Amino acid sequence: MNASRETKTITPPDVLARKGGTPLVCLTAYTTPMGRLVDPHCDIVLVGDSVGMVLHGLPSTLGVTVEMMIMHGKAVRRGVERALMVVDMPFGSYEEGPEQAFRNAARLMAETGCAAVKLEGGESMAATIRFLTARGVPVMAHVGLTPQAVNTFGGYRVQGRGEDAERIRRGAAAIAEAGAFSVVLEKVPEPLARLITREIAIPTIGIGASPACDGQILVTDDMLGLFTAFKPKFVKRYANLGDDTEAAIAAYADEVRGRRFPAAEHVFADTPKSVGASSVKDGEAA
């Protein structure tokens, strides 16, 4: 990150100050090019452990490692200048206790240049969040459907229906009191997300939650139609780039097999057309 750049980077306190204001725009990124594309439009860019499913073909997020998050975090850092960059703490990197969480969070921040980490869990993570924030690690929390607990939940089911709503409410209140600067509410009933947003003092960021949340997040590859293995109900497709990409690849393959590509304009002559500076175009010899 260039310390001399004039662009003002959004910070965790900036996000906290947006409670009840203009909704926060959040998307995921795992690569430098995607980081550059989302950065001008987003307040928060999350390097999510969803990378395991989206880019690595894993069946869940459970196989993602700290090393993977560091690799993708470094890549995104090169493309993000204004948005707050948050990196997910993967499964097994923080659940053992506050000390383990601090070691891994400190490593993620030092090696990726991110300004905050995200971890999953409600009341059970309050002590860890308090420990981290007291030591200079800004924390985004995550309650409701927490994908790292998919085996405990028995699948990607809506959380917080009926009597279970109180568990989610207590969890959100606990992590807010512990010092998290924001919390993701995933796949919870709309009225519950609306209630929690009203009750807690930190911004709520919804994904399959409520338009009343203080912000929204989606996996970028989902909303662009690049990841097509499945489509959650809460995803709106703003493009179908997967279909467009497949069509482009098919057209390329057809032209190669039909010897229509490369054409004359894509190949080079024996000698330059002319001598001198005019013979060079876009860094290539004519």
SS3 of 286, please? coil
Catalytic annotation, pick one of 123, 163, 186, 255: 186
How many whole angstroms separate alpha carbon 131 and alpha carbon 120? 15
**Residue 195 CB: number of other CB atoms within 10 A?**
18
DSSP H helices in the chain: 12-16, 32-38, 51-54, 66-77, 98-112, 126-134, 150-153, 165-178, 190-199, 220-223, 241-257
Residue in the block written with tokens 């209630």: 195
Residue 186 falls in the annotated catalytic set: yes
How many whole angstroms separate alpha carbon 195 and alpha carbon 7? 36
Instruction: Tell me how far CA of residue 41 lies from CA of 87, 90, 103, 215, 281, in angstroms.
Output: 18, 26, 32, 13, 34
Which residues are the active-site residues? 186
